[in-house]
A and B are shown apart, each in its own frame.
Chain A
């Protein structure tokens, strides 16, 4: 970024945000003690339809987020708006992260009790033998999801509430094609 194209925002400290008119991009540096990485990811994700988002760590204790607009941005005001929106989204994500952390024990307790309640009380042997070391399955191809989830279709219990059964007709049509 060349210094002659550098843009300053009058209401945002330079140490936090600066913009480049040539690259149509804006960079922000945030304190990692104030904003956890999960919140930075969450806020960045909101912007990926409008911007190319780059995250790096220029120095220990801070994250730098660079938003580069996909569409042409001519005015400094538009870049300032991006900075403001990102700052608010980052604050929102940080707060939600904090609430989740505070309630994690309660959420997990309720979930475990619901599962255990359906089965009856597990024995101490069950708990002692439970293997927590098995990692989740890697599924880069997205195979391990139900047909209904993958195709955005209602589950059979939801279908049962409706009078017609479109799935059967589809199966019939597909199978006819198979035999052709």
Chain B
């Protein structure tokens, strides 16, 4: 790994929980007497190398107070890995120790400093620690390290963040991070005393970042840089891209004292409240700490529904795990034998078997949250192998091959906890599932509104019906090119170039059937559009909504690079499922006498297209 870069994948090892400080918000308040043995940590460092990590980061408690520190750095370096520390930094005030560690491939330091003065920092950590920690900053800066200083924000230092910015201005290679205090350990025990409202934290952190950026520019320096953690992104307007967490630091796995193997880093201590589910920022957003949400609820967050978001993400090929695998039962699975079940992220890691070959892919996308990716992969089963050469597949039936859980997983006791083994399903699920839409269209009679008609993919069905006078068709789409092309091809159709929200219909205009085919997720405010259209559907008429859920694409490195270079703009405001659409319809059901007459769900062994059809009884 290059000095200062952040691409090397990290394994975080907790060596024990003893510490030479006693922060009021200490996560491990109740277990400070537990220390991992030398042999245990040695074993874990070797395991991290075996799992293919590029850096071992030691944390605690405080890892630098362990006399084995230099030995662990030596062992890590001897295995060809870089070394990192999550530390309060006091021991790194010793120049000799810093030199020894740098000689043993110390490349990353994440140091805690909670105030820019002795008074604030020392009282936050309940120790006379500021001078040593600040000296450590001086020792470490300018050494080519990936160097972050973390400031935990509580009620007690929330008004003093600018002081920390001033203290760190002399060190341009430092990344300063402001983190919302977590209600865990001391943060939970002293919740009322420590926990600031997240809205206040966001405001003060934005002020500190804005001040820091301004001072850095005035001084003509390249840094420090400033970021934030565990604050909902909707509260950080203009600073959304400054979010910082374990994943942005390239942590893949972690292990606590006494645990038998590594586990993926996750965000399961945080939650996205119900209002956040349709938010365009949900992917990278940390949401709220669960403990905070339980006490204060989600009154401070305000989801962004007016920004488009992605509807797919990439799994990039990382490694060919095996070229001669011949197992047929779960007892022979490489995940059970050697690779391990727990170290792999259930959503973001993907193992694909094709014959004797087993390959590992990885999704680093922050367009989707961990929870969303798990749902897409396991609950909805929407994983595809990209077999095209296009930046983005546009003919799913030809470009994509679905991946489904391998028969190897059948009967495996770890089935639910494991990231799973997947295999290609050589069946055209897209054409098969679209048949249901075609059947609906073939039965249409009377006045038709097609909201989001696009390039007219169902011409072979609609054209004969229209020319025979069976239907009277109005097509609406915001794309000028699509409408212009249809005007050439569809002389039988009325066509309007406008968005769904902007559509203005004559007061007396009524329809027998309204179609929203793969356009639902392009609508910013579908509830308002339903309120406008439902009164216009005649009794006995129907509303048919069809759309796609998001999906993951397993791609080679070249395909991934090509896709990431593409400048295709996001067009979806949500990735609603039929359940989400049903929830939007719910308030209208009784008022318009709506009855569900057809519903096709997405799931494993099915395409990502769902269908929801309701009859309007008036």
Contact = CB atoms under 8 A, between A and B. Distances in A.
Interface string A125-151: 010011100111111010111111010
Q: Which of A144, A158, A160, A171 has the most B CB atoms < 10 Å from its CB?
A: A171
A13 B90 CA distance: 54
Nearest to A150: B20
Contacts of B154: 175
A116 B43 CA distance: 11
Contact of B156 (A115, A137, A178): A178
A156 B29 contact: yes
A174 interface: yes
Contact of A137 (B19, B43, B46, B67): B67
B419 interface: no
A158 B91 CA distance: 27
Nearest to B40: A119
Contact of B120 (A115, A141, A176, A178): A178
Contacts of B155: 175, 179
Majority DSSP secondary structure for residues of A touching B:
helix
The size class of the interface chain B forms with chain A is 35 or more
A171 B93 CA distance: 25
A167 B22 contact: yes
Interface residues of A, number: 40
B33 A156 contact: yes
A164 B160 CA distance: 32
A122 interface: yes
A168 B120 contact: no
B33 A157 contact: yes
A55 to B, nearest CB: 28
Nearest to A146: B18
A118 interface: yes
A158 to B, nearest CB: 8
Contacts of B115: 178
B65 interface: yes
Nearest to A171: B24
A172 interface: yes
A131 to B, nearest CB: 5
CB-CB nearest 5 A-B residue pairs: A178-B123, A179-B156, A171-B24, A155-B33, A144-B65
Given A158-B33, A175-B154, 8 more contacts: A122-B39, A137-B94, A144-B91, A150-B20, A157-B33, A175-B124, A175-B193, A178-B115
Interface of B: 18-22, 24, 29-33, 37-40, 42-43, 46, 64-71, 74-75, 78, 90-91, 93-94, 96-97, 115, 119-120, 123-124, 126-127, 132, 154-157, 159, 186, 189-190, 193-194
